[in-house]
Amino acid sequence: MRKTLVVSLLLCVVVVFAYAQIGLGADTAAKPAKDATTYKGYVQGTDPAAKSFNLSSCPTCQDIITLYVNADTKYSPKGKGWDDLKPGAHVNGKSKTADGKRWAVTVNFLKGSGDAHKTGSR
């Protein structure tokens, strides 16, 4: 009798642990979806009136996306900001979509940002 009770308890512990590992006991629909996406590219131009900038994957590419900034947008490194977003600046960051627009949450200026794009052999 005692042996059966111990084996039953161990089996229950194993089952509970298995459910916790594979998430069968959790409500997966309650988890919020991540709406933040990342971007990386070269600034093609800015629109000060709309507080937006156009970005493409390379300095001469035509795959342009428009990102909007607001007072909540964080710039790095320190000291950088909206005025540093000039054509040719190499940036990356996170964005989110709201109100039908893609908003830049962060703008990180990459090393050598603003320098002319180098081509050819090294």
Count of beta carbons in the 10 Å neighbourhood of residue 80: 16
| Domain coordinates in residue numbering, the chain | 36-109
> Exposed, middle or buried by CB within 10 Å (0-12, 13-18, 19+), for 66?
middle
Torsion of CA 108, 111, 114, 120, to 10 degrees: -130
**pLDDT tens, residue order, the chain (122 aa):** 778 877 776 666 666 666 666 655 444 434 444 556 999 999 999 999 999 999 998 888 888 999 999 999 999 998 899 999 999 999 999 999 998 999 999 999 998 655 444 444 44
Running DSSP on this structure, what letter comes out for residue 19?
H
Quickly list H helices, the chain: 2-22
Query: In this structure, which CATH number among 2.70.98.50, 1.10.630.10, 2.40.50.320, 3.40.228.10 belongs to the domain 36-109?
Result: 2.40.50.320
- Report the predicted TM-score, pTM, of the whole model to 2 decimal places: 0.62
d(Cα 65, Cα 89) in Å, to the nearest integer? 15
